[in-house]
Structure 1
């Protein structure tokens, strides 16, 4: 069974591209690039995943990021955190060492705005453009090719990358200069944290009150309380099901980035800081790999 779902692709001239990082997000994203007709070279720290990817989608795998990036017009990347990103971008085997002048590195990792600006500056020294481009939409969005991508970086480089990246995106939008994509993703995570906590409290309250919460959600979902979280996670929260992708461990990593940025820029985030600690409670309950809607577990 394919790891991506069928979708129509825009007619875009084929380009030689690379994809670094074949995790739950990167693997299907790279698959959509291949299905859209691009010549894709992949690199993954675990070589077995890269071999499996080429078995499904064709293309080729490379033993280092440098060799994957060699000769490519665009290098896409999706890894775990700032340190993982530096490890595949910098150094003698890093992607920048293999990239040609005028090429573009598009980073889909949710990382800090600082590392985006750092790598953007290093790329420019080599005549390469760096775009920070974190995504929203989760594993399902990656598999369906329907991710929302928030970008920071040079406008001309963005215009080149966008048609190619639309193979796995429903929206690919430039938010400003380097770092703006990561800052926009932080706004996204702040919104999600508050929404999921509110939904958790509402469902727990309704259950204590003896209401049929499936019916309640159907009713209030047609009014002002409606949200993506309610539509997509409300019913499964009622059913105590938390196996839907974006893990608590990943959310805590993202909220750590948010809170560090807030300390730097002076933003006050009392609710976000509180919800971050609630997610720590969920981790202590054994829910590190439960999805983010598992916040309700600490209320039961």
Structure 2
């Protein structure tokens, strides 16, 4: 059932724009269309936007400005800070096409600095900007079970939350602009450490001759339990790494974490080390492997040393 949301005047809004149709944005925009919203999409590769329209209906726009024109809410999910600026700013950017009072919700994992920068620019134009990075990976986007961490004004959050609920299991306002991105950094720091620990444990158990699927079933009921163990443990045992979030993107995210840590004076020794390990995975040719491929790195390094 469509969850309604409103304009600043209180009028019901049904037309939305979604910018960026990658592995996350494509199914997220699809959930909005299936919910009955009138969706216009933009993607840098226009053929991908046409493909989406053929599957879900709606309209494909040639520019972010065109997509945003007349929309009561604009959402985006692109690659990084520069990608975000390119779809928001400039003659063909979304801000040029948006009517005053319209919220822009950004699901990109980007820096807190760019979120604050764009929030300030938006405010100067009479618009609202909310950073809203997501966690849950490709499967979460497809199943509509993402976790969304939001930074922005409380009243804007309350207006857009029903729409975000179409592809999320949890939508939470963390604080003002940039707070959502900072929370996502905390998330990625946790994930990096957990995946490395799980990789070492699985590699250790296999070398010790244990039945690792059985072991994971047992310890998954105790203090070692985690989302990573439940969802990636057995595929790591099997050496399957074509799930979820690619190493290239994880390194981008960890780079953002490390830069922010330097700015605020926070120590991230384990995160920095795991970032280097992901660099090894890239060097070994695993750029597009899922982040659980840290266990592959351990196996590969051992095989090379034995050879």
**Which residue does the alignment assign to 2:71?**
72
2:110 is equivalent to residue 111 of structure 1: yes
2:233 is equivalent to residue 237 of structure 1: no
- Aligned 8 A contact 1:14 1:37 in 2: no
Q: 2: CA distance between counterparts of 1:188 and 1:53?
A: 30
3-state secondary structure, aligned to 2:91:
coil
**Which residue does the alignment assign to 1:299?**
298
Q: 1: CA distance between counterparts of 2:205 and 2:294?
A: 16
Q: 2: CA distance between counterparts of 1:111 and 1:44?
A: 18
2:80 is equivalent to residue 81 of structure 1: yes
| TM-fit CA distance, 1:297 | 1.3
Q: Deviations over 1:163-207 (max 9, x none)?
A: 011111111110000000000000000000000000000011111
Q: 2: CA distance between counterparts of 1:108 and 1:250?
A: 14
| TM-fit CA distance, 1:73 | 1.0
3-state secondary structure, aligned to 2:171:
strand
2:75 is equivalent to residue 59 of structure 1: no
**Which residue does the alignment assign to 1:20?**
19
| TM-fit CA distance, 1:78 | 0.3
3-state secondary structure, aligned to 1:286:
coil
TM superposition score normalised by structure 2: 0.94
**Which residue does the alignment assign to 2:302?**
none
**Which residue does the alignment assign to 1:6?**
none
Structure 1 residues 98, 130: CA separation in 2 closer, same or farther (over 3 Å shift)? same
**Which residue does the alignment assign to 1:3?**
none
**Which residue does the alignment assign to 2:282?**
283
**Which residue does the alignment assign to 2:28?**
29
Moved segments of 4+, more than 4 Å? none
Matches within 5 A, 1:126-165: 126-165=125-164
How many pairs were matched up? 292
Q: 2: CA distance between counterparts of 1:61 and 1:299?
A: 45
Q: 1: CA distance between counterparts of 2:107 and 2:219?
A: 35
Q: 2: CA distance between counterparts of 1:145 and 1:53?
A: 17
Q: 2: CA distance between counterparts of 1:67 and 1:215?
A: 54
**Which residue does the alignment assign to 1:47?**
46
Q: 1: CA distance between counterparts of 2:201 and 2:2?
A: 42
| TM-fit CA distance, 1:124 | 0.4
Structure 1: gaps (5+ residues): 1-8
TM superposition score normalised by structure 1: 0.96
Q: 1: CA distance between counterparts of 2:105 and 2:204?
A: 44
